[in-house]
Structure 1
Amino acid sequence: MTVRLATCEDAVYAKQITDEMESSALSRGCGISKRSPSSIIKKMKEGKAVIALTSKNEWVGFSYIEVWQNREFVSNSGLIVSPAYRKCGIAKAIKEKIFDLSRQRFPNAKVFSITTGLAVMKMNAKLGFETVTFNEITKEKKFWEGCKSCVNYQTLKSKDCKNCFCTAMLFTPENLKTGEN
């Protein structure tokens, strides 16, 4: 198994990735911000995505980052693993790689993740994320508009994007905790 930075050559996996994201959310009965293959390809081309493949180039897993509020925040998003490879440690390897990518590319940004999954919450906690309220992550409207395709969007909207069924988690770099720049 190889977990690496995704490139434009990995665009061939984009539809498979987005189909699995949607299928997985539906089978778990939870909401998800639906992504398009073109948005996944864009992340690959920008060097903002991580992909896992077998030695035979079969798609195994994926995640990407998005930058918000003039680089103040970076989100770790879209973590998905093919059902055939779940419970093998692939999600953890992808999560660590996407977190490292976030820290390398945007070392002064706060990194956040929103999820309904306990496994992701545990991985985040091991990386130093803390559970926070939605008020502590990006206020950028475009981020919250991405939630429109989620089955829980009306709940989020009724709470003025301050509360929903997802849990927000935030990693704050040490220099921001101490006030240094």
Structure 2
Amino acid sequence: MKTIQYKSDTAIFSSNEENIEPYDFIIEEAKLEHIHYINQICEETLSSAKARGTGISGRPPELLAKKMIEGEAIIAFTSKGKWAGFAFISSWENGKYVSNSGLIVAPEFRNTGLAKKIKRKIFELSRQKYPKAIIFSLTTGLAVMKMNHELGFEPVTYSELPNDELFWENCKSCINCPILLSKERKNCLCTAMLYNPEKIS
């Protein structure tokens, strides 16, 4: 049985799924006080990408700190304060587009349903801060694609993504960037998905 309690802007999830050790996760909007988790987040993001053999856009610690301070990130940890997961948002073209990025869960807390909860919280934060924005996601992961689909995202061509050069600059640290450039940014190994609030409503 799974119980969900809400206290102010913090969600406390108790996972009691069969064959899974129960954990009490606190999932909330990241703040200045959470900056000490940044090195763990960066290290795990890189090691996870290497283990899966997939490309990933590098995120410097300074960027993640900025996201935390500006209230544009979601963080998860256990009731004992152990870091468990993270995701952040970025806006492009003056808020016309918003990306959900950097979803990562610590290895010991995978297969507990935590990734799905973080994904929903970062989506809700995006809708709250940018209610008119088109939300998009680029991923090679099937699990993320499924989560996006459940939230109302639809697969699209790269032509529907932002034209912002800074956005595409972030792809340069990905091992798949040569493929992207050879295709003139029209496609790559990542699947592009959009949530358009105008179409949903």
TM interval, shorter chain, is over 0.9
Identify the match of residue 12 of structure 1 among 36, 45, 49: 36
Indicate yes or no: 2:45 matched with 1:21: yes
Report the equivalent of 1:39. Answer: 63
User: Following superposition, which runs of at least 4 residues in structure 1 exceed 4 angstroms of deviation?
Assistant: none
Structure-1 residue corresponding to 2:95: 71
Is the helix fraction higher in 1 or 2? 1
The one-letter code matched in structure 1 to 2:152 is G
Deviations 1:39-77 (A, max 9, x none): 111100010000001011110000000000111100000
Specify the alignment match of 1:96 in structure 2. Answer: 120
For residues 186 and 149 of structure 2, the distance between their equivalents in structure 1, rounded to whole angstroms, comes to 21
1:140 to 164, 185, 189: 164
Q: Percent identity?
A: 55
Determine which structure has greater relative contact order: mean sequence separation of CA pairs < 8 Å that are 6+ residues apart, divided by chain length.
1
Q: Which residue of 2 aligns with 1:61?
A: 85
Q: Shift in Å at residue 38 of structure 1?
A: 1.2
- Aligned partners of 1:161 and 1:9: how far apart in 2? 38
| Equivalent position of 2:188 in the other structure | 164
Q: TM-score, normalised by structure 1?
A: 0.96
Structure 2, unmatched stretches of 5+, are 1-24
Inter-partner Cα distance in structure 1 for 2:165 and 2:179: 16
Unmatched segments (≥5 aa) in structure 1: none
Inter-partner Cα distance in structure 1 for 2:164 and 2:51: 30
Are 1:116 and 2:140 matched, yes or no?
Answer: yes
Does 2:73 match 1:49? yes
Structure with the bigger percentage of strand: 2
Aligned to 2:105: 81
* 1:139 CA drift (Å): 1.2
- How many residues are paired up? 177
